[in-house]
Amino acid sequence: MTPPESARSLAAAPPLGTAADIARSVRAGERSAREVVDAHLATVAANEAEVHAFNLVLADEARAAADVLDRRIAAGEDPGPLAGVPVALKDNLCTRGIPTTCSSKILDGWCPPYDATVVQRLAGAGAIAIGKTNLDEFAMGSSTENSAFGATRNPHDPSRVPGGSSGGSAAAVAAGFVPISLGSDTGGSIRQPAALCGVVGLKPTYGLVSRYGLIAFASSLDQIGPFSTTVADAALLLDVIAGHDPHDSTSIPEPVPSYSDTLDRGVEGLRIGLITELMGDGIAPDVAARVREAAAALQAAGARVGEASVPAALLGLSAYYLIAPAEASSNLARYDGVRYGLRVDAPTTGEMMTATRTAGFGAEVKRRIMLGTYALSAGYYDAYYGKALKVRTLIIRDFAAAYEHFDLLLSPTSPTTAFALGDKTADPLSMYLNDVCTIPTNLSGDAAISVPFGTGDDGLPVGVQLLAPALGEVPLLRAAAVLEEAAP
């Protein structure tokens, strides 16, 4: 089906192909990095006003970086595997000397003094950042409507949300502004917008990609990962950003394989389990139908497909909305008007902090800070936060038990296709339910990917989710490539 005639779809393939195509041709001298950057910036100029994927477009900086890269290639240098590839960065990744806002007024005017590790690695691989993308404030949301700078719209239908919190990064890829982008995933913030925007979105294993320079929401859950139009581009981007970083104490100190080199090995013999608990109430029939079709496609490709049970997955939402707000209430205490960002003057220090935080934080951030502070308060810690940690342990155990029988798991990514802007903003619980399928993997720390797989009854994209145990990205990406090939 096609989207409603009243909606003008802005979704498009990148002007000059995939990231792999661009890098190959730029490295070979078949086209210049400047040509590539100009073409993508022209697409941004034509459609950004309607999509609002970016908080900041770095047009001059991107052109200057492209010119430097072209000179290096002319001198015989190889700038790296992402040579000349435009990339968009979620605006919670630190960029030296460039405003980093988390889409919040409280970071107004703040320019980090350093680059995030992933930003450094992208530049070292020859990628060219063309902008900072919009997000739900401090990555708290599922629709990118909680931004202090206005909502991002879905390129497939601008009356719909792109998902969140990394909605700007997903929309930038879907609209053809860039072939690849980076987001962060705390409870599904890469995979859910990827599903709603019809692109690939990967949440790597916790610790596989450095979080140094990612402005924290919930430190035990946050993970950086790629958006792309193809699974091959996601693997290529993961090749660049994965690996140990001594600046991040949670970074896994092990060498990483080449994910790109294993994509063509198929799924012959892999055991894949359809998670029964995530196929019941609340999952739209058209979404469930696409997931069953994906299971059939994997079986047709040689995988052994069965039903898997992860009982504690149904408790993930409740545990997450205690653990994540508790960590957020601690992490966001640093925004006090004293050290950086917004400051609202008042007669006393206490009144200044109150006035600054009142003016600087939006409603959803305030809601989660209060929820987290309450859960951590004396008399309630054991009843709420402590119990949520026990549920997290149950989820980890249930996933481990499922992975004894299956190599990978399969589920919907989002319960529905993209919903209308404003449809759920007045009902936080309804909004939170959008992450019911993605949150369990954040709590377990494992890997997961959303792959576009056809459309729903409304003609809008449906994403299916593949899940793998920790450091299972190789079989995960192989299966994702098979689904991509089989997609309607």
Q: Which helix (H) or strand (E) holds 450?
A: strand 447-455
Q: Is 16 helix (H, G, I), strand (E, B) or coil?
A: coil
104, 142, 143, 165: the active-site residue: 165
Separation between Cα atoms, residue 161 and residue 53, nearest integer Å? 11
Q: Is 22 helix (H, G, I), strand (E, B) or coil?
A: helix
Give 11 or 19, the one with higher predicted confidence: 19
70-98: pLDDT as tens digits: 999 999 999 999 999 999 999 999 999 99
Structure token pair of residue 82: 């992402």
> What is the chain's length?
488
- Is 3.20.20.70 the CATH classification of the domain at 19-310+397-486? no
- In this predicted structure, what is the pLDDT of residue 223? 98
- In this predicted structure, what is the pLDDT of residue 340? 87
104, 184, 189, 444: the active-site residue: 189
203 in active site: no
Partners of 227 in the β-ladder: 181, 201
90, 132, 203, 424: the active-site residue: 90
The distance of Cα 245 from the centroid of its chain, to the nearest Å, equals 20
Domain boundaries, the chain: 19-310+397-486
Mean pLDDT throughout 21-27?
Answer: 97
Partners of 463 in the β-ladder: 452
CA distances from 282 to 4, 140, 329, 437 (A): 24, 22, 30, 10
Structure token pair of residue 124: 């070292």
Provide the H-helix boundaries in 270-362.
285-300, 316-331, 349-360
Beta-carbon count within 10 A of 168 CB: 34
- In this predicted structure, what is the pLDDT of residue 2? 42
390 in active site: no
- In this predicted structure, what is the pLDDT of residue 6? 43
- In this predicted structure, what is the pLDDT of residue 7? 59
33-84: pLDDT as tens digits: 999 999 999 999 999 999 999 999 999 999 999 999 999 999 999 999 999 9
Kind of pairing between the strands at 200-203 and 180-184: unpaired
- In this predicted structure, what is the pLDDT of residue 112? 97
Separation between Cα atoms, residue 464 and residue 417, nearest integer Å? 11
Q: DSSP secondary structure string, 405-449?
A: T-SEEEEESSSSSPPBTTSSTT-HHHHHGGGTTTHHHHHHT-EEE
433-457: pLDDT as tens digits: 999 999 999 999 999 999 999 999 9
Q: DSSP secondary structure string, 32-65?
A: -HHHHHHHHHHHHHHHHHHH--EEEE-HHHHHHH
Mean pLDDT in the chain? 96
* Residues in Cβ contact with 273 at an 8 Å cutoff, skipping those fewer than 6 apart: 305, 306, 307, 308, 402, 405, 406, 408, 409, 410
* Biggest CA pair distance of the chain: 70
- In this predicted structure, what is the pLDDT of residue 4? 44
Q: Give buried/exposed letters for 432-443 (b at 16+ CB in 10 A, else e).
A: bbbbbbbbbbbb
Separation between Cα atoms, residue 163 and residue 438, nearest integer Å? 13
254-290: pLDDT as tens digits: 999 999 999 999 999 999 999 999 999 999 999 999 9
Position 109 confidence tier, pLDDT thresholds 50, 70, 90: confident
Q: Which helix (H) or strand (E) holds 397?
A: helix 387-403
Partners of 200 in the β-ladder: 228
Q: Is the distance from CB of 272 to CB of 295 less than 8 angstroms?
A: yes
Partners of 214 in the β-ladder: 93
Q: What percent of the chain has pLDDT over 70?
A: 98
